[in-house]
Every structure is written in C-alpha cells, then in structure tokens.
Structure 1
Amino acid sequence: MTLTEGDQHAGWPESGLEGSTPPEDNRFTAMAVSAVLTLVLGIGLFTLPVPYVVETPGPTYNTIGVDKAGKPVISVKGRETFPANGNLDLTTVYVEGGPEGYVSVLSAFAAWVDKSKAVYPVEMIYPEGVTKEQSDQENAVAMATSQEDAVAAALNELDIPFDQKLKIAGVPESSPSQGKLEPGDVFVSVGGKPVTALKVIQDELAAEAGQPVTVVVDRNGNSVTETITPGKNAAGRYILGVQLQYDFTFPVEVTISLQEVGGSSAGMMFALGIVDTMTPGDLTGGRKIAGTGTISPDGSVGPIGGIGQKMVGAQRAGATVFLAPAANCEQVLGHIPDGLRVVKIENLAEAKKAVELVGAGQDTAALPTCTTD
C-alpha cells in the first residue's frame, strides 16, 4: 500500500505491528518520565546540604520556677531562702547546621524569608572541623562555668564574702607564657600586686605597657616566680596568653537544675534568680521578665549570640520586659518584637534595679535602652 500524507503518523506504517504503542502514547510516556525526573532532581536539589547555620527561637526557662520534675531550678543550702513568684526567664535558641546536622537549601531559603530566624555561614558559628561531641562538651563546660560565675556574681551583689582564686586552665602554643606557666598554676601576684580577680592582672599589664612583668604562681603548693613579657591581642590589650578559670570556695551550696540548656548566655538570669531566691519578697512583683547575657564573677554582663531569636522567644512566652547586654545593642535595634520593652544592661546591679522597678510597678522611663546614638 502506498502511503499518503493522511495515512502517515509520524512515519508509522498504516498497518503497524500488533501490540505496538501509538506515537501519541510514546510522547505522553516520555513527558511523564521527564516530569518525574525533574521532580526528583528538584527535590534532590532542595535537600542538598549547604554550609549554613539556622538559628530559631527556642523555649524559655524560669530560673525562679521549677524544672520538668517539679524541683526548683535554683536551690540554696546553708543560707535562708525565700519563695519567689513571677518569672525571670532565661532565653534559648535552637541551632540547626554545622555539627548539629546539615541545613538543606530549602531550610536555608525558608529561614531567609522568616524574620524570626537567622542564617549564618557555618564558620561564623563553629570552628572548622569541630564535631558534635566536641560542641556538646564545650557547651556543657560553658554552662557549668557560667553557673559558678553566676553564684559568685550573686554573692558579690548580696555582699556575702567568699574565697576565689584565679587558675590557669591552659597555655596555648606560641603564648608569651609558654614554658613558664602551666595548667593548674594559681596566680598569687603580678607585678607585686596580689591577684584577687582578672582585672588586677589586666590593670597591671596595662600599667606596665608591655614591659616584662614578674608573675608569682602557686604550683602544687610551691611558689614559682617567672618574668614574662606580655603580648598583645587583637583588641590591643596586653595579655599573658593563658586560658583562665576561677576556683571558688562558697559559704553556701547552690544547685542549678537545668539539663536542657548549654552555653554561657544564661549567666545573668541565673545570677538574678539566685539573688531573688536569697532575698525576702519578690523582685519581679509576680511579673514575667526575660533576658540573656553572660556574667562575670564581678557582675559584668557580656554579649551573647542569637539575641534576635531570644527576644522573639521571650515575647512568644509572654514577657513584656527583656534585659539585654549593652554590647548587643547593635543587634537589638530594628529587631525588637512588638510589645517587648528592652532594657540595656551593663552589670548585675543594673539588672537587679531594673527588675525591682518593673516588679514594683514604678516608672521605668529612666531605665537605659539601646539607641542609635
């Protein structure tokens, strides 16, 4: 049979082999397969890991409340304590990415368009090569240290004396003190000044302006004297180049029961909780106050990460007042959730005063805030 144009279907004979698939069905099958492959590739692309970290608002924990088992978050033995009402909430952040698991393209994109979340390159949050186990251990150590520092800061605020020593935790390579000072050494004096706090060392090194300084330490009960020429850190401050930790002897036993949180940013709120627990009456007046910030034994409040997410978490939990480290003001401005009053805090005394004013229902207009000045 001679084929005519009307008898032809894309080159197929008029009478094809029995059971053959018509060309229209072939095209449909090809399109369907292509669509499925495109979908699979698209899903694969969106689930690919990317080198970013996503921070999301986490829960709050009341430092003058109870834990999941119904036990007080803060308990004190060896001194009279007083029941505390209201909330002094520490705030948290969920972290996704880095050693905590990968972030997908889709997750990163969703976080970018969500104002309550933040996205950072992973190297801004974690050192290169750090494992989850290392990260968890560092967070646990930071939490334990912050709790001890919080006890010291609270006792200082309450004028309760205690003993403290400044101990060397580590001596990095290429440090000015390498080969002279050792981990476990306890500072006795620097430049002839008895070392009672880190500030004594900092002030003496600054006064000597980089000149060699005499350092006396206690090493396993023996007095060791070394002459060390300080180095300079990135901020231009003279340093001995050692990692330090405080060794405290407290007249009271303070237990903080909170296993869910790591890191050092809860220090200020722990210190406030201890002060409230050991002070008659309610600092908060029954109100819900939240905050964040590291704490030093002398009461200085330091900056933290994820403050934008912590403010959102505080507002969602019902707080109307948020205590923020002064050093975080740049990150606070422009990110304050509706209905949340942010108070700028330099030290524990300021934090306590702010809580007392809010709790008493007094005028808080004079309390410091973050400004663009």
Structure 2
Amino acid sequence: MPRRTATMLASTLMLIALLCAGVFIPVPYSEMSPGPTVNTLGEHGGEPVLQISGRKTYATSGHLNMTTVRVTSADYKMNLVEAVYGWLAHDNKVVPHDTLYPDGKTEEQSNQENAEEFSQSQESAKVAALKELGVPVESWVIVSTVVKDSPAEGRLHAGDVIKAVDGTAVKAPADVAKLVTKHKPGQNVVFTIVPAKEQAAAEKQHRTATRTKNVTITTAASDDSGEKRAIVGISAGTDHTFPFTVDIKLADVGGPSAGLMFALGIYDKLTPGSLTGGAFVAGTGTIDDAGKVGPIGGIEMKTVGARDKGARYFLTPADNCSAAAKDTPGGLTLVKVNTIGDALAALKDIRTGKTSDLPKCTAKG
C-alpha cells in the first residue's frame, strides 16, 4: 500500500476513533437554553395566569412576560461532542454539572426545591404588589419545614405559627434561630405556637386564632465544623393572610425568578389603565415582601427567549445587568431595576414614550 494512502487511511481511522470517543465518553457538564416565556397578563393552558376574586380588577393590554430557562436533567450524561456543540452554539450555555445540581442533588430533590421556591415567590409577589398599592397584608412566622429525625420531629409541624420562643415574641423568621442558639446543645427550648390546624380553621372562618400551646424541645448539636450550635431541626418562614384571593395558575415552572413579573401583573390587574401602554415587556427577578428585586441565574438565556418571543424591553435585576449587557440580543432594551418601584417607574416611561429616560443596563452594571 502506498505510503500516502496508508497515511490517509490512518488519519481517517484516527478521526473516526476520536469521534466515537467523543460520542461515548461522558463529561461532567450540563446545558442551559432559552425556555418558554409566559404573559402574566394573559392565559396559559387555557386559563388566566392571574386569577383575582373579591376585589375589582381592570382590563389590561400588552405583555408582562416572565421568562424561563431549560436545563438538562440531573441524570443526563452529556458527551464530549454535545459539550463542544453547546459551547459553540450562541443561544446555549454549557456549565459544570455541579452548578445546576450541587452536592449530588437528584432530579427529584431539585424539582422539589424549585417548587418550594416558586410557591414562595408567588407569596412574596402578592405581598409586594399589595404593599405597593397600600393594601394591608397580615403576616406571621411559621414552621416551614421539619427535618427528619430531628428533635422537632413530631413536636412541631409545618404550618404551625410560632408566636414566641422562651417567652420572647417572634416577629421575623430570623428571630427563631437567634433565640434557639442562645441555648447550648442538650438544653430545653420552649416554643409557643398556634397549631397549624387551628390556624387553618381560623383563616377559613375569617377570625384570629387565639388558642396557643407551649411545646418543649431538647436541643441537639449542629453538625457544623468547629463550635456546635444548638438546633431543633426546623426552618422558619412567613405566611400571610390576604384581604382577597389571588391565585397564580402556572404549571411546570419552578424557582423564584418570576416574582417580579407576577407582582407587576397583579398590580396591573388591580389598577385602572395599562402599565405597559400596550408594549411588549418581559423580565425576570426574585422579589421579597418589601419589593426588593434580586438576581437570578441564566440571564443570557432569558433575554434571548424574550427577544425571540417579541419583547422590546427587558426588566433586569441590577445585579444581573453587567452579565446581560455583554451580549444583548438585537432589538431588546435592558432596563435596570432594584425594586418594584423602579419597575413601575420604568413602565411609566415606556407607556408615555419617554424611553430615553430609562435606566439602561451597561457592561459596568
């Protein structure tokens, strides 16, 4: 066989071998890509995304779209060819697998966490919107979760209202940990609670729950490195009572990043006129009860998804601005927001045509 032919054959076989290796050898990466966007003012799956009863609502127009990111599943084994293709694809992003699923988190665990964050974001969106409107919202501290095999298991339950710890009134979730950690591991701590069932019954009857009981729990030591803290094995959160019903109907979505757009949608439906003036506005961002907007992941994917859907303006958390501005999709204006108040001011500029006044994102933030 001529040397040239042999060399070409060897090169071809080597290329085939490398391609086969690339297809069959898994790499520790996952992929993110633009996901669906949904108009919070419109319908999804045949029913309104925001359903409000017990309060007058108003007609809306335009779009206030929340945005999402698609990610590969926790058990998906990406190969080298797919990773290289993802790195080269402009609208996709390949990231280390542990970025999306840290500490070996399973698909089920990730979905559960996302569902919990999504539920909490809905509650905070309602509170932020109603506070901005001056509508009073009653809030209290509750037991959010109880850790299995912890001292609190069987003693406290999710939904119990925490009125006091060791006789000291609890006003915020952080108060619970502060009061518990005043103890040493092995000491008793006394929780004054309204049981979850009593609270639920009171809410159903539109009355204030008054029956409380004391629960004594022996603290355990934390598994932290270094000095051990006293713990009981719960996480505390906040629950609310609203003066009317606000339901958010959106399945197959998780995480906290739709909070801002839900809050704006609720605000729009409860006020005369249109916040957008008919414009197509999309956005993202977590929101807390006070209306502060927080950063999210996958900003580059969300701006691409919004642009592809037809958005002209994108409400961007201030902490995401520099990353988003590095590769802004053509035709999309990135608007910097820190609070729901900032977002409402920006929407006023958009609907009145004062777009030159918008606080735009730059590569510096």
Closer/same/farther in 2, CA of residues 264 and 215 from structure 1, 3 Å limit: farther
Whether contact under 8 Å (1:97, 1:103) holds in the other structure is: no
Asked if 1:89 corresponds to 2:65, the answer is: yes
Asked if 1:346 corresponds to 2:322, the answer is: no
The aligned amino acid for 2:193 is D
2-structure distance, mates of 1:74, 1:239:
43
C-alpha RMSD of matched pairs (Å): 4.0
How far off is 1:126 after superposition? 0.8
Aligned match for 1:252, one of 239, 244, 249? 244
Whether contact under 8 Å (1:170, 1:182) holds in the other structure is: no
How far off is 1:83 after superposition? 1.4
Bigger Cα displacement from structure 2, 334-343 vs 359-368: 359-368
Whether contact under 8 Å (1:52, 1:97) holds in the other structure is: no
Whether contact under 8 Å (1:90, 1:269) holds in the other structure is: yes
How far off is 1:336 after superposition? 2.0
Q: Secondary structure at the match of 1:50?
A: coil
The corresponding residue for 2:126 is 151
Whether contact under 8 Å (2:325, 2:334) holds in the other structure is: no
The aligned amino acid for 1:72 is P
How far off is 1:243 after superposition? 2.4
How far off is 1:159 after superposition? 1.3
The corresponding residue for 2:20 is 43
* Length-normalised TM-score, structure 1: 0.75
The corresponding residue for 2:271 is 279
Taking the TM superposition and a 5 Å limit, the aligned residue runs for 1:43-82 are 43-69=20-46, 71-82=47-58
Closer/same/farther in 2, CA of residues 244 and 325 from structure 1, 3 Å limit: farther
Identity rate of aligned residues, in percent? 38
2-structure distance, mates of 1:284, 1:58:
23
1-structure distance, mates of 2:190, 2:329:
49
Residue deviations 1:259-290, cap 9 Å, x none?
13222111111111111111111000000011
1-structure distance, mates of 2:9, 2:359:
66
How far off is 1:348 after superposition? 1.5
Residue deviations 1:169-202, cap 9 Å, x none?
23669x9x989x9554533357988544457x49
Closer/same/farther in 2, CA of residues 270 and 47 from structure 1, 3 Å limit: farther
The corresponding residue for 1:164 is 139
How far off is 1:354 after superposition? 1.4
Q: Secondary structure at the match of 1:103?
A: coil
Closer/same/farther in 2, CA of residues 128 and 330 from structure 1, 3 Å limit: same
Closer/same/farther in 2, CA of residues 154 and 46 from structure 1, 3 Å limit: same
* Length-normalised TM-score, structure 2: 0.77
Closer/same/farther in 2, CA of residues 195 and 355 from structure 1, 3 Å limit: farther
Unaligned 5+ residue runs, structure 1? 1-22
Bigger Cα displacement from structure 2, 267-276 vs 37-46: 37-46
Taking the TM superposition and a 5 Å limit, the aligned residue runs for 1:212-227 are 217-218=192-193, 220=195, 221-223=212-214
Closer/same/farther in 2, CA of residues 130 and 314 from structure 1, 3 Å limit: same
How far off is 1:368 after superposition? 5.8
Closer/same/farther in 2, CA of residues 242 and 346 from structure 1, 3 Å limit: farther
2-structure distance, mates of 1:227, 1:367:
53
Is the radius of gyration larger for structure 1 or structure 2?
A: 1
Spell out structure 1 runs of 4+ moving beyond 3 A: 31-41, 170-173, 181-185, 189-199, 214-217, 223-228, 238-242, 368-371
Residue correspondences, number: 337
How far off is 1:242 after superposition? 5.2
2-structure distance, mates of 1:307, 1:183:
37
2-structure distance, mates of 1:191, 1:111:
55
Closer/same/farther in 2, CA of residues 345 and 224 from structure 1, 3 Å limit: farther
Residue deviations 1:93-146, cap 9 Å, x none?
1102533x2222112111112232222111121123322222222222222222
Closer/same/farther in 2, CA of residues 369 and 33 from structure 1, 3 Å limit: closer
Closer/same/farther in 2, CA of residues 37 and 110 from structure 1, 3 Å limit: closer
Closer/same/farther in 2, CA of residues 368 and 33 from structure 1, 3 Å limit: closer
How far off is 1:211 after superposition? 7.0
